[in-house]
Amino acid sequence: MREITTDIAVIGAGSAGLSAAYQAASAGADVLVIDENHLPGGQLFKQIHKFFGSRAHQAGTRGFQIGQELLERVQKSGARVWLDTLVYGIERDCSLGVIHDGAHYVVRAKKVIVATGAKENYMAFPGSTLPGVMGAGAAQTMVNVNRVLPGKRVVMLGSGNVGLIVSYQLMQAGADVVALVEAAPEIGGYAVHAGKLRRAGVPILVGHTITRVTGDGQVERVEIAQVDKQFNPIPGTERVLEADTVCLAVGLNPMTELVWMAGCKFCFIPAFGGHVPMHDGNMETTVPGLYVAGDVTGVEEASSAMEEGNLAGVCAAHALGLLTDEQAADKKAEINARLDALRAGLFGERRRTAKQQQLDAMQAEQGGNDHVG
Amino acid sequence: MEDIIICRCQEVTEQEIIDAVHEGATTVDGVKRRTRACMGLCQGKTCGRLVERIVARESGRSAAEVTPQHSRMPVRPVKIGTFGGDGDA
């Protein structure tokens, strides 16, 4: 076992982690970024579509290009990036158990930023373990990163942006999307993404779900049915689609194992994917010195993950005395203004309310502690 | 009722998890110890959320009240030899 010390350890080299590392290293901190994947960038390098939003958030730029620019900035900032590296655990004192290059390390950092992202929700139905049933994110990785087509005839379940975008990308890669099935009465994602599918002639079946998948050792038939207002299948409405692939795009949930293990307090916010760590306006959790950023704090999207990463990086560097109060306040004000812009409008309002609820929970928790103390 | 597999690593069905709750399991950890759900290679990353939902539904509690399984080291599969190597005495 080898021991390593650093100012700031960042777990996860995705949108949030790379942004945090860039900010902290630019302020002069010694930064170590750790990611279990072979390539940095998290989900950014899977995103071949153009991003939305304002110019400040690189609207009109494709996700992988945003990732490339971010990565170059991080490399120039002097942060160290360890890839193919596992953080298998965290102690209450925030030291990390790490496996790097086949060897066991303990990483002791003055501040730790957890930016582990989210994982896909799974759905179970008869036949859901047949080969050919997979997460939509997995299918996206196969097509856009590994250039492997998961199948020729795809049924997509879920009409959020992931379901809509991945359906279109599977078609661009050469698959047929037989149908996009959505249990809710309306499409969940942006109309502009749904429009692309409609123009391509993909049937979008709202008020439907998958009831069963059958086949001889792999997906061959997908039974769908209409659902009632409680989302239960209506008997007699079943019909069968011939397909070899089923993609599940039924939401994401924050990857919080390490945050729980460190002893952080959580609150429950359905809009963010369930139990999420409480944090303050500096992204610091109830465990002093432990920060969170990006989807692990609640599932949003890449742009807000980058801004939360920026915030965590600035605040951790400030806490180490590497930025003056004034420098930190200026940077935080700029980042918060951009975050507010991302959490505004028709689609942002729900996330703004959810984030406020999370900050309020933290304040109540800290107020409670002061009272007891 | 057709079998629905919830934990694919350990091949645990929905009915087995329901039975575990009715036998007295009130948490995901309780279900885990009775059925081995969440104890396979993925350590519950795939089925954990579904198990939470079944525990909530069958015990008549809200989703907020059922927390994820207790998180322990290692959170990812690690070879025993890596921990027990020459320099790890």
Phi-psi region at A321: left, alpha or beta (left = phi > 0; alpha = psi -120 to 50) = left
Which residue from A137, A117, A42, A35 is spatially nearest to A296, judged by alpha carbons? A117
Closest-CA residue of A relative to B52 is: A274
Task: For chain B, give every domain's residue range.
Answer: 5-64
Name beta bridge partners: A177.
A154
Mean pLDDT of B28-53: 96
Q: Give pLDDT < 70 ranges for chain A.
A: 52-59, 368-373
Supply the pLDDT for residue A373: 36
Nearest C-alpha in B relative to A260: B71
Return the domain boundaries, chain A.
Answer: 2-119+252-365, 122-248
Quick check: B88 and A97 CB within 8 A?
A: no
DSSP state of A284: B
Token pair in block for residue A272: 């963010």
CATH topology of domain A122-248: FAD/NAD(P)-binding domain (3.50.50)
| Radius of gyration, alpha carbons of chain A | 22
DSSP output for A30-78: -EEEE-SSSSSSTTGGG--SBP-S-GGGTTTSBHHHHHHHHHHHHHHHT
Q: How far is A163 from chain B (nearest CA, A)?
A: 18
Does the distance separating the beta carbons of B5 and A124 come in below 8 Å? Answer: yes
pLDDT single digits (tens) A325-361: 999 999 999 999 999 999 998 778 999 999 999 999 9
The β-bridge partners of A153 are A176
pLDDT tens column, B45-74? 999 999 999 999 999 999 999 999 999 999
Contact: B5, A97; criterion CB under 8 Å: no
Question: Which residues of chain B are within 8 Å of residue A128 when distances are taken between CB atoms?
Answer: 4-5
Q: How far is A188 from chain B (nearest CA, A)?
A: 21
Q: What is the pLDDT of residue A160?
A: 95
Q: Chain A interface residues facing chain B, Cβ-Cβ under 8 Å? A: 1-2, 36, 86-89, 97, 99, 102-104, 119, 121-126, 128-129, 212, 253, 256-258, 260-261, 266, 268, 270, 274-275
B4 interaction partners in chain A (CB closer than 8 Å): 124-126, 128
Q: Which two tokens stand for residue A362?
A: 């933290």
Q: Is B3 in Cβ contact with A126 (below 8 Å)?
A: yes
**Cβ–Cβ gap B67/A261 under 8 Å:** no
Residue A223 near residue A214 (C-beta atoms within 8 A):
yes
Of B5, B75, B87, the CB nearest to A1: B87
Question: Which 3-state string (H, E, C) describes A200-227?
Answer: CCCCEEECEEEEEEECCCCCCEEEEEEE
ipTM over 0.90? The verdict is yes
Top-tier CATH class for A2-119+252-365: alpha beta
How buried is residue B89: exposed, middle or buried, by Cβ count under 10 Å (0-12/13-18/19+)?
A: exposed
pTM of structure:
0.94
| Residue numbers in A near B8 (CB within 8 A) | 129
Closest partner residue to B47 (CB to CB) among A1, A122, A256 is A122
Pick the CATH number of B5-64 from 1.10.10.1100, 2.40.290.10, 2.120.10.90, 1.10.760.10: 1.10.10.1100
